[in-house]
């Protein structure tokens, strides 16, 4: 492992130069959602393409209907290839007056505990994280003359504004983007000491349920007690979705849901994710979901059914004695690996339909869905990456699912056929999307070192 | 009964003159809600006061902050006294272009089946009905020189615009308005052949339920499955209100509710009030309430719990993966005799509170209520009036409760201490509040005759 030590030493020696490069990248105000910054987005993409070209990558700034997508590929003859995804665009900076220093003038600030932080818009989300990977590649090239695995880079400029063009781009560039594994650096650490590998992202199915009762609004004095009230009907249907133990009672809802392996559940049960520290900050204390599951399961590896909006009848000031004709709920289900969004949608609809009285009707407006994505639990690259991270941080990574959804990662699996490991180094207090966004210098430095170790491990 | 026959014969002989008087009343456009018609409202009140004065009543046009209230009192020395309530104001006439003849130019129209109808705004609601009572008094005075019972008349001019001043007026004129019984002529026949006495009006309690969960809106990807969703909580609470048999499951809700006497239930079970003819016209077919009750009970003699409005979360276009922090429902309960609105409110609140998880909270914004009013089932005047109506129409009246509420009738009981019989002769097809309002000539003629018989009977 002399090679690895040399590369890590190079990372340490070159840290100041790495910071300077990141600062140059951060100074470009690449706000993707504001068309006034379109030229700055292109400039950021070009800056990254030029930097990758300096490492010997074949680079391209690919035009799209929106902002360009940077692609770069090494070609050193290594056996395996990884594809790295990130984004160079950033969130808007409003409210500007809450920033303690200008958002596009990066600086290093030391806090009261002596922790050094890079403060700038994009420092954590996602320029700083993208550069951990780029700097790791640079250190390999500088120290050894080559990369341990071939690397394809794809960095988009519209992640903060809807990612409209990345899906079609992936589909149109399958051969170019094909690799053994995808890597994403846009997630966080478990905590400041503990790294994390995100193994799955939940999918999403959303639908709109409209219950129709009488063909007009009715006076509750005349019809009250006799005519079906669609708000009662809908409430009863929603109430029936979860049983007393928090399970979703919809037949077929859990079809295909896989139990995580025992070793993973054992590791999860040792996490200090408690209702106090997870729900306390938002004013709650009792996990609302399945009573026989760990909190970490509820928010990552288990599917959910949530009502996101509901309305019907009179919702203005004062009172109105009406029995409405219609009641509506917008619902969404977070899906986990092997759940088919269409089957879940159909199961939900059949269940709701069965709750509706014979003289009422229900229609569904929606039903779009995207499946969850998950790394195969026995993918050997997972164990390699986990060991590499453990070596760097002195503690093995938490390997969990994340509750949210990043649709492009689904594309990597579906279109390119490759698993994705999501490894990132941001912290909960990085204030991404908010004023005074920061990225700890440790995140950046040890992030680079982590990628060095992971790339070396993936070559084995 | 020679006296009664002579009075009835007078009614028949004077019908044309009675119609002429009604037409004069109908020609005054006393639209109370439009201030432009304020002088016309006063003119209608004055017309009625003058007409009552011509019968020997001591009359007065009482000014209020709104339109004046007509009061009139006979003083012939009879043993008993009744107080009659009605209103001289009418609804607006829009949309005017749907009227087949000008709304304030009354005329008699014969339909294809030979049924004669008085067509004008106010013909059924309520000038025509008020005049059935006035003409009955007139026939007594003309045929016998006196009334069989003393009569106090109170006719307001703001019933169609909120009745804001009648309550305070009743409270301020208690002694003047005190009688043995109140009579109201502002309701309808059961059908064209069958008279009806409304024995009760339901009361009303309304409240607003606000469920609070997290202290901010949450992202359903991150918190879904773990954080309490107030729309689920509220739906479960609402769903728990009614059991599988449609009973309200709130402990104490039915406290004080009295079973109607068997003879009344027996009569009700013979009514042709079916789900088909009651719910069919609004597109429904299945009574939603208590399964062991007659439809007529559900809509008149039983209390109800209805959600009138409900909302929370995202209710705009498309979808938003939010778990809201708040969910709200506006509810109202129709109350029947002997239910205390405050006790019902407290029972509802205690029940809802018990459904709320420990880390959520609920607040209530509302809770106003007015009790139901009901004639005491064994009031002997009820039997007398029922027999009188049966004699006139050849079929005994249906004696039922009405689902709606007329707060001033509650005042008669509470402030004046007198029961109210609501007897009216309008029909379901009278188009009250709509263009081409009409009142069948039979309703008017036999309505006058009915009051003659009732007044005679009440004197016994």
In angstroms, the CA A332 to CA A309 distance is 10
Report whether CATH 3.40.50.300 matches the domain B2-201+372-459. Answer: no
Instruction: State the best of A310, A325, A400 to mutate against chain B, taking most chain B CBs within 10 Å.
Output: A310
pLDDT per position as a tens digit, A397-449:
998 887 777 778 888 988 999 999 999 999 988 988 888 999 999 999 999 99
A residues 354-383 near B, CB within 8 Å?
A: 357-360, 366, 368
Residues from chain B contacting residue A228 (CB–CB below 8 Å): 284, 286, 288
- Rounded to the nearest 10°, the torsion over CA B210, B214, B216, B217 is -80
**Which residue of chain A has the CA closest to B332?**
A321
What is the reported pLDDT for B1?
Answer: 53
Q: Which of B220, B227, B288 sits opposite A308 (nearest CB)?
A: B220
The whole-angstrom separation of Cα A138 and Cα A150 is 13
Residue B287 C-alpha from the chain's centroid:
22
Q: Which residues of B touch A298 (CB under 8 A)?
A: 225-226
Peptide bond connecting A107 to the previous residue in cis, omega within 30 degrees of 0: no
Average pLDDT (A312-327) is: 88
Of A214, A239, A288, the CB nearest to B226: A288
Partner-chain residue, chosen from A225, A299, A306, that has the shortest CB–CB distance to B298: A225
Per-domain boundaries in chain B: 2-201+372-459, 203-257+303-370
Residue in B309, B314, B402 closest to A309 by CB: B314
Q: Which of A138-147, A177-186, A292-301, B450-459 has the lowest mean pLDDT?
A: A292-301
Query: Would you call B309 an interface residue with chain A, using a CB distance cutoff of 8 Å?
Result: yes
Closest-CA distance, A249 to chain B, in angstroms, reads 14
When CB atoms are compared, the residue of B307, B314, B405 closest to A221 is: B405
Measure B319 CA to nearest chain A CA, in Å.
7
| Cβ separation A330–B313 shorter than 8 A | yes
**Residues across chain B:** 460
Residue-level pLDDT, tens digit, chain B, 460 residues: 579 999 999 999 999 999 999 999 999 999 998 899 999 999 999 999 999 999 999 999 999 999 999 999 999 999 999 999 999 999 888 888 889 999 999 999 999 999 999 999 999 999 999 999 999 999 999 999 999 999 999 999 998 887 889 999 999 999 999 999 999 999 999 999 999 999 888 888 999 999 999 998 888 888 888 999 999 999 999 999 999 999 999 999 999 998 888 888 888 888 888 999 999 988 999 999 999 999 999 998 899 999 999 999 998 877 777 899 999 999 999 999 889 999 999 999 999 999 999 999 999 998 778 888 877 778 999 999 999 999 999 999 998 887 777 778 888 988 999 999 999 999 988 988 888 999 999 999 999 999 999 999 999 9
Q: How far apart are CA B39 and CA B25, in angstroms?
A: 14
CB contact B238 to A (< 8 Å): yes
Contact between B224 and A306 using a beta-carbon 8 Å cutoff: yes
- Round to whole Å and give the CA distance between B300 and A342: 46
Architecture of domain A2-201+372-458: 3-Layer(aba) Sandwich (3.40)
Q: To the nearest whole angstrom, how far is the Cα of A409 from the nearest Cα of chain B?
A: 16
Q: What share of chain B is helix, strand, coil (3-state, %, to 5)?
A: 35, 20, 40
Chain B hits for A226, Cβ within 8 Å: 278-279, 287-289, 295, 298-299
ipTM of the complex model: 0.77
If you average pLDDT over every residue of chain A, what do you get? 93
For the domain made up of B203-257+303-370, the CATH class stated in words is alpha beta
């Amino acid at each position: 492992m002399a090679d690895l030590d040399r590369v890590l030493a190079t990372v340490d020696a070159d840290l100041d130069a790495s910071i300077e490069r990141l600062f140059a990248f951060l100074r470009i105000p690449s706000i993707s959602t504001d068309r006034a910054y379109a030229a700055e987005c292109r400039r950021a993409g070009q800056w990254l393409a030029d930097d990758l070209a300096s490492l010997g990558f074949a680079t391209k700034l690919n035009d799209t209907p929106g902002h360009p997508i940077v692609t770069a590929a090494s070609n050193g003859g290594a056996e395996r290839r990884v594809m790295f995804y990130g984004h160079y665009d950033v969130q808007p900076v409003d409210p500007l007056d809450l920033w303690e220093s200008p958002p596009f003038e990066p600086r290093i600030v030391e806090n009261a505990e002596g922790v050094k932080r890079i403060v700038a818009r994009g420092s954590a989300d996602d320029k700083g994280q993208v550069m951990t990977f780029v700097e790791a590649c640079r250190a390999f090239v500088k120290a050894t003359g080559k990369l341990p695995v071939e690397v394809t880079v794809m960095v988009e400029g519209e992640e903060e504004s809807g990612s409209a063009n990345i899906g079609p781009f992936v589909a149109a560039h399958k051969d170019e983007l094909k690799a053994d594994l995808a890597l994403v650096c846009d997630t966080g650490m478990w905590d400041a000491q503990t790294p994390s590998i995100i193994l799955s992202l939940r999918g999403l199915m959303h639908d709109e349920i409209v219950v129709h009762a009488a063909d007009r609004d009715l006076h509750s004095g005349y019809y009250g007690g006799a005519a079906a009230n669609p708000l009662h009907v809908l409430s009863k249907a929603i109430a029936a979705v979860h049983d007393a133990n928090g399970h979703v009672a919809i037949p077929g809802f859990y079809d295909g849901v896989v139990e995580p392996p025992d070793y993973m559940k054992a590791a999860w049960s040792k996490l200090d994710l408690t209702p106090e520290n997870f729900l306390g900050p938002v004013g709650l204390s009792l996990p609302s979901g399945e009573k026989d599951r760990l909190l970490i399961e509820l928010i990552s590896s288990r599917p959910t059914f949530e009502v996101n909006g509901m309305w019907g009848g009179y919702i203005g000031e004062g009172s109105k004695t009406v029995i409405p004709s219609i009641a509506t709920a917008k619902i969404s289900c977070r899906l986990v690996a092997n759940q088919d969004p269409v089957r879940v949608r159909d199961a939900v609809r059949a269940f709701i339909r069965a709750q509706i009285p014979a003289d009422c009707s229900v229609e569904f407006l929606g039903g779009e869905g995207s499946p969850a994505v998950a790394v195969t639990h026995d993918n050997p690259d997972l164990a390699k990456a986990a060991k590499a991270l453990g070596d760097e941080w002195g503690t093995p990574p938490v390997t969990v699912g994340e509750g949210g959804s990043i649709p492009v990662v689904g594309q990597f699996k579906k279109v390119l056929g490759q698993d994705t490991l999501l490894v990132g180094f941001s912290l909960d207090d990085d204030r991404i999307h908010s004023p005074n966004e920061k990225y700890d210098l440790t995140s950046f430095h040890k992030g680079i070192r982590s990628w060095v170790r992971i790339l070396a491990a993936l070559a084995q």
